[in-house]
Amino acid sequence: MKIAPHSKLVFIGDSITDCERARPVGEGLFGAVGKSYVALVEGFLGAIHPAHAIRVVNMGISGNTVLDLKARWQIDVFDLKPDWLSVMIGVNDVWRQFDLPRQKEIHVSPEVYERTLGELVRKTRPRVRGLILMAPFYIEPNRGDAMRARMDQYGAIVKKTAARHRAQFIDTQAAFDAVLAHMHPNAIAWDRVHPNITGHAIIARAFLQAIGVAV
């Protein structure tokens, strides 16, 4: 496994990461890490590599965009001093352009998204042992769908940013696409954004495979 024993692994993102995690820090007893893929990752790490004793922290906040992450980066990333950091952001950056199209002041353009994500990654990469960037996704197999096409654009930005800063990229959209060849989107997420347990398992599996854990 790529993550060394006794490392601290912090996840940051939006509602897909959040999923009822504890405040102010999602770590500890009684489901403090929430009900998302983060909990599944923590569970499998403990089951498969118990001697590693990986410390898992969930810092997702529902509704966040990359601009929200920037505003809380010092407290929710740097102050926590992670050894490894996983970032998955972009769903709301795209979604607000479609469900609130007239409120343009809250939209995050591809240019702002790329610039802000790049800034965060650039100043964080030297401070962590490992940095993972996960693509945002839309659980829709039709690539011609307008929101799916825009989400793919933002995912490409994440991939480019990861390559530029020597971070690890996880193609979360591709992981969903493989399952969507056999399942309807409604069986994974009623709104094509917020996954059920199957959807969270897809994300967790992609993450674990990326760090060298066989699942």
Determine if the pTM surpasses 0.85: yes
Q: Are 56 and 21 in contact (CB under 8 A)?
A: no
120 closest CA partner among 73, 152, 189: 73
User: Which residues, including other chains, have CB under 8 Å from residue 159's CB and lie 6 or more apart?
Assistant: 133, 135, 169, 171
Reply yes or no on whether 107 is catalytic. Answer: no
Q: Is pLDDT at 180 greater than 90 in this prediction?
A: yes
User: In sequence order, what DSSP letters do the residues of 154-188 get, joined into one string?
Assistant: HHHHHHHHHHHTT-EEE-HHHHHHHHHTTS-GGGT
- What is the b/e burial string over 69-89, where b = at least 16 CB atoms within 10 angstroms of the residue's CB? beeebeebbeeeebbbbbbbb
Residue pointed to by tokens 């809380």: 72
pLDDT at 114 over 90: yes
pLDDT tens digits, one per residue of 10-55: 999 999 999 999 999 999 999 999 999 999 999 999 999 999 999 9
Q: Which of 6, 15, 18, 76 is catalytic?
A: 15
pLDDT-derived band of residue 164, with 50, 70 and 90 as boundaries? very high
- Among 18, 36, 76, 194, the active-site one is 194
Residues in the chain: 215
Predicted local confidence at residue 215, as pLDDT: 87
Domain parsing of the chain, residue ranges: 8-210
Task: Using a pLDDT cut of 70, give the percent of the chain over it.
Answer: 100
What is the pLDDT averaged over residues 130-136? 98
Phi–psi pair at 54, nearest 5 degrees: -75, 130
What does the pLDDT average to over 191-200? 98
182 is catalytic: no
Active site residue 76: no
Section 181-207 average pLDDT:
97
**pLDDT for position 117:** 98
Please compute the mean of the pLDDT values over residues 176-190 and round it to a whole number.
97
Fold of 8-210: Rossmann fold (3.40.50)
pLDDT at res. 153: 98
* pLDDT for 168 beyond 90: yes
Considering the candidates 6, 79, 109, 191, report the single residue annotated as catalytic: 191
